[in-house]
Structures are given as C-alpha cells and as structure tokens.
Structure 1
Amino acid sequence: MGVTNQPRLNFVGVDISSIHVEVQNQYTNAEIKHSILPKIILPKNLPDNFKVVMDVHIESEGYFNIKTIISGLFILNMEMEDKHRDTFMHLNAPAILFPYVRSFISTLTSNLGSSMGTIIIPPQVFKGEIEVIIESPQIED
C-alpha cells in the first residue's frame, strides 16, 4: 500500500501550553464531567497557517479538576475554495487534533498514581462553526 501526501492540509504538530491538575480526594466512581472548547487562531502574518486550540476541562466535583490547553499547528493550501478551506479548519483539523488530546489526558491521569484511575475521554464529533480569532501581526525587532 502506498502513502501519499495530503496537498491541502498539513499537520505540523501539537503544543501543550497549560496544565492544571488539582486532586482533592481519592476518586471513587463519581460522575465525571468534561468539556472541550475548540477555537481557531489565524495569525495575520502567516496567512496559510492556523492553529486549533482546545481548552479542555475535566472534573469530578469533590475529587479532581483538570484543565489544559492543547493546540495543533496546521498549514493550509490557500489556493482552494472558501467552503473547502472552512471544512478543513472547522471539521478536519479538530478531528485530527482530538486523538492527541485524548491520549494526553489518558497518559496524564494514568501517571497520577492512586489518586485517580485512567480517564479516557469519549470520542467527540466536531461540527458547525468554531470561534475564529485573528491574531495581531507580530512586530519584528
């Protein structure tokens, strides 16, 4: 089986910019709530790049609270129709980044010892419009 490059969307990599873990009590089968809020960041000085930033919050009231911000950098071929570009940015890119988020949370929680068990975030479906933030251009020295 041959492998081909995707000429329209390239995934550069993942960055974890913030992690906060607070454990109040040893976890014992209480309800776990999670939210994943994706955003798209468009840098003004690099029009073919964008980031998908996922703000992840997982908690079990009285037991633990986990907050992390994880982003993925993508390069997009700008010579495509707007509707295809929007699909890549709002659907495909979050779907590409999510397994990294899911894996990170599972690894993090499994390494916290006896304070909690491994948390596996259920699969997510990203659809619809995601908030887009346009960054200010970077000032060169």
Structure 2
Amino acid sequence: MENVKKSAFRFDDFFINEVQTKIENRHFDGEIELGMNLSGSSVLRNSKSQLELTIILRVEAEDYFNISISTVGLFTTSFVEGDEKFESYLYTNAPAILFPYIRAAIASITAQCGIPPVRLPLMNLTEFGQKLKESRTIEE
C-alpha cells in the first residue's frame, strides 16, 4: 500500500461567530433577487503557519429579509510566505473551502426562520481573495 503524502495546507475548523436575521415578509413565491455583500479579514499567526479567515456575508432580498453571518475558518500551512502556492492556498483556496459551509448555514437558517431556504449561487472568490491579501494582519 502506498503512503499518502501529507498536505502542506490543512483545514482545521469552521464556526459561526454571529448571525443576525430580519424577516419582513414570509410570503414569497418563485424567484427573488438577492443582494450580497462579502467582506472579511485574515490573520497569519505563529510564524505564519496558522491562518484565521473571517468572512462576513450579508444577504438581502428587498422587502423580504436580510441576514448577516460572521464565520471563521482555521487553517494550518507549512508553506512559507513568498511561495506561489502560499498565496494561492491562503487567498483563493481558503475562501473557496469555507463558502459551502456558509451557503449551507444560510439555507438552514432561512428554513428555520419559516421562509423558503435560500440557496446562494456559486461565486468566483478570486477578487475577494485579493482583498483579503491586501488587508491581512500578521501576528507573531
């Protein structure tokens, strides 16, 4: 049997820090237009081997509801800063790994609020990753 090579980038944990919902109208059928605002921050820790990625997503359907969710993903890496893979994993792959968890949380929360579950569309997070890179914090 072949040994499996250990990944240099590991997803350790996901949790929700805060959720805010406001339901204005529970009765809507069919398609609704969603507005989404994605923001976040990243913190590199412990000699840059740990990444804490915070993503805040606000979803709004005018006259129906708005939801804000703040989530955190924790990652560990053995890549070093300056490595091409370091940038790719931290600022492209990490948000892409977290987004399905956020989508599932939004669907579950909306269903539990008594409205049809909101299924967020898939998103290209490349631009978001660039914003994270520009606003990162490094803690030793």
What is the TM-score normalised by the length of structure 2?
A: 0.82
Query: Which structure has greater helix proportion?
Result: 2
Partner Cα distance (1:4, 1:101) in 2: 30
Query: Is the partner of 1:130 in helix, strand or coil?
Result: helix
Q: Deviations over 1:36-68 (max 9, x none)?
A: 22432223x452000221110011122211001
Contact 2:48-2:81 at 8 Å conserved across structures? no
Aligned-partner Cα distance in 1 for 2:9–2:67: 31
User: What is the percentage of aligned positions where both structures have the same residue?
Assistant: 23
Distance 1:120 1:79 in 2: 36
Q: Which amino acid aligns with 1:119?
A: V
The alpha-carbon distance between structure 1 residues 72 and 3, as it changes in their structure 2 partners (threshold 3 A), is: farther
Report deviation, 1:109.
Answer: 0.9
2:34 maps to amino acid: I
- Report the count of equivalent residues: 133
Letter in structure 1 aligned against 2:124:
V
Runs of 4+ in structure 1 over 3 Å off: 2-6, 78-81
1:85 maps to: 86
> What is the match of residue 42 of structure 1?
44
